[in-house]
Each structure stands twice: as structure tokens, then as C-alpha cells.
Structure 1
Amino acid sequence: MEKIKFSREETKALVGEIQDYFREELDQDIGAIPAEMLMQFFAERMGAYFYNRGVYDAQALIRKQVESLSDDIFALEQPTRHLR
């Protein structure tokens, strides 16, 4: 897996989210640099877990769609005099 990279805008938004969390939930201020370091830590160490969860969810969705499509195709079958 490639290293997770965020655009400048995404990084700024994530850093703001971290700062808001620290302020609102922990009643502490955290600077932009420590917040960005924390974001990078999570991206490097835990990003793969979140990424994999997304992959698993996508696989489940595709599997469900294929089953539904298979059912729809089977419903097109025309009756014949011979049983399968």
C-alpha cells in the first residue's frame, strides 16, 4: 500500500479537527504542528486499518450487488419442458 498522502487543504482540515477535538473534549489547546504530527502518526500507524475497513465494506457491497444481479438474471429464465 502506498503511503497515505493528504493535500494541503485536507491536512489543514484534519489539523483543525484535531485541534477542535482537543479543545472541546480534553479542554486543552494543541498547536498546528503537534496536531499535524499526531495526524501523520495516525495515518502511518493506523491508516491501513481504516483503509482495509473501507475495502471490506466495498467488497461486501459488490458481493451484495452481484447476488442481486444474479437473481435478476435468473428471473429472466424462460420456462421449458425439461427440468434442469
Structure 2
Amino acid sequence: MPKLDFSNEDQAAIVAKVQDYFLTEFELDVGRFEAEAMLQFFAKEIGAHFYNRGLYDAQAVITGQIDAINDAIYQLEQTPGS
């Protein structure tokens, strides 16, 4: 999986969410450096699972659209000699 590059603003927002989560759920005050390290760890270790799920979901949507197009084309078919 290619490395995910977040904008500085997006990374700061994600890191803040990690920090908020640990403070709220575990009453742990996690620093920015630690939160960034956790983010990198999770992205590396489980990011591919979420990425692949997104691909499968996109594929399902596209397949559904192709099926709808095929049905529409089938409805346009004409019987020879009619």
C-alpha cells in the first residue's frame, strides 16, 4: 500500500483526535509526538485493511451501477421483425 500523505492540517486534526481519545477514554495525557507515533503505527499495521475495505466498497458500488446500465440497455433492445 502506498504511503498515505496527509496535509499538515489533516495530520494535526487526526493527532488531536488521538490525544482527545486517550484523555477521554483512559485519562492519559498523550503528547503530540506519542500521538503521531501511534498514528504511524496504526496506519502501517492496519491501514491496509481499511484501504482494502474502501476498495471493495467502491467496487460494489461500481458493479451495481454497471448492472443498472446493463438492465437499461437490455430494456432498449428491439425484437427483429417487429
TM superposition score normalised by structure 1:
0.88
**Rounded Cα–Cα distance in structure 2 between residues aligned with 1:27 and 1:72:** 57
Does residue 1:60 correspond to 2:69, yes or no? Answer: no
**Rounded Cα–Cα distance in structure 1 between residues aligned with 2:27 and 2:79:** 70
Q: Which consecutive segments of 4 or more residues in structure 1 shift more than 6 A?
A: none
Which residue of the partner structure matches residue 10 of structure 2? 10
Higher relative contact order (CA 8 A, sep 6+): 1
Instruction: Write 1 or 2 for the structure with the bigger share of helix.
Output: 2
**Rounded Cα–Cα distance in structure 2 between residues aligned with 1:78 and 1:20:** 62
Aligned positions, number: 82
Measured on the aligned residues, the alpha-carbon RMSD in Å equals 1.4
TM superposition score normalised by structure 2:
0.90
Check the 8 A contact 1:4/1:44 in 2, yes or no: no
Question: Which ranges in structure 1 are unaligned for 5 or more consecutive residues?
Answer: none
Which residue of the partner structure matches residue 75 of structure 1? 75
Q: What is the percent sequence identity of the aligned residues? A: 48
The amino acid that maps onto 1:44 is K
**Displacement of 1:27:** 1.8
**Displacement of 1:56:** 0.5
Once the two structures are superposed, residues 17-76 of structure 1 have per-residue CA deviations (whole angstroms, 9 ceiling, x without a partner) of 101111111122111110010001011111111110000000111011100110011011
